Amino acid sequence: MGYETILASKDGTVGTVTLNRPEKLNAYTNKMGAEIVEAFLAFDADPEVRAVVLTGAGRGFCAGLDMAEAAANSQASGSAAARLLAGGRVPLNKVVQEMRKPVIAAVNGVAVGIGFTLPLACDIRIAAEEARIGLIFARAALVPELGSTYRLPRLIGLGRALELCCTGRTVDGKEAERLGLVNRAVPLSKLPETVKELTDQIAECGPLAVALTKKGLYQGSIADLDTAVSFEGITLDTCFKSEDFREYLQSFKEKRKPVFKGR
């Protein structure tokens, strides 16, 4: 279906969502948030898709909030935060965690404010070395959103999170990798092939196992050890009984690549 602020495309096993307001460096609007959620859920429901990529059109990933809409939000009645996070069936700040498929942010340029809390909410982040990344909220008299006050300290530690958020300073992709903000930083020219290599590797794995592993890791990150081990036992039993595992055993015996069905 058509979207106003994003593009959604599928290439083999990969669904790609591209923020598509390049004339405004893909500045975020409430409509964009709702469309991201809609596209993510559609790809998550597509059995052919094994991974989802989020990136930006043109020379930036996302330059933060659209200031004209932000000004209108500040004057409107009701909760500005609720409008910002609106996503229909699932809030924008929770949709990735509730998806079965891994979501990879390909940060291709400037990514500041909500332009970086969007990647923070993704499962994996690959950035261009040339990208400019910043949690610049305090400079605009705002606070971080999209669950970033929960995710950021867990990702890079409280001290570094406080430094970045309370100064609003920006870093390039290389420093973002050193700080742990992104999994990897590569030259911009190599970003597409790096992301493709990652999605190809994901596509070679059993989709049921990937989905259960993702769920287990998110639950385990906040659970106690006994709860995490209990969940591992349940999901491991599910995998042992799955068609995918039987296919793996058969392919191992026949010395060929497995063909997984996700069941």
**Each residue of 80-132: pLDDT tens digit?**
666 665 555 678 888 999 999 999 999 999 999 999 999 999 999 999 999 99
Structure tokens at 161: 């999170």
Residue 79 is predicted with a pLDDT of: 64
Instruction: State the CB neighbour count (10 A cutoff) for residue 238.
Output: 13
Q: What whole-number distance in Å separates Cα of residue 122 and Cα of residue 103? A: 6
pLDDT in tens, 183-242: 999 999 999 999 999 999 999 999 999 999 999 999 988 877 778 778 778 887 788 788
Residue 108 is predicted with a pLDDT of: 98
DSSP code at position 87: -
Structure tokens at 147: 């669950």
Which residues share a beta bridge with 171? 133
pLDDT in tens, 8-36: 999 999 999 999 999 999 999 999 999 99
Contact between residue 184 and residue 177 where contact means Cβ atoms under 8 Å apart: yes
More confident residue, 151 or 257: 151
Which is nearest to 122 in space by CA: 108, 103, 143? Answer: 103
DSSP code at position 188: G
Strand order in 124-128's β-sheet? 6-11, 14-19, 51-56, 103-107, 124-128, 184-186
What are the chain's domains?
Answer: 6-203 (3.90.226.10), 207-254 (1.10.12.10)
DSSP code at position 137: G
CA pseudo-torsion sign 75, 76, 82, 85: negative
Burial string for 62-87 (b: 16+ CB within 10 Å, else e) reads bbbbbeebbeebeeeeeeeeeebbeb
Contact between residue 55 and residue 15 where contact means Cβ atoms under 8 Å apart: no
Please tell me the pTM assigned to this model: 0.90
Residue 188 is predicted with a pLDDT of: 98
* Residue 213, φ and ψ in degrees, nearest 5: -65, -45
Give the 3-state secondary structure of residue 263.
coil
Residues 6+ away with beta carbon under 8 Å from 154? 221
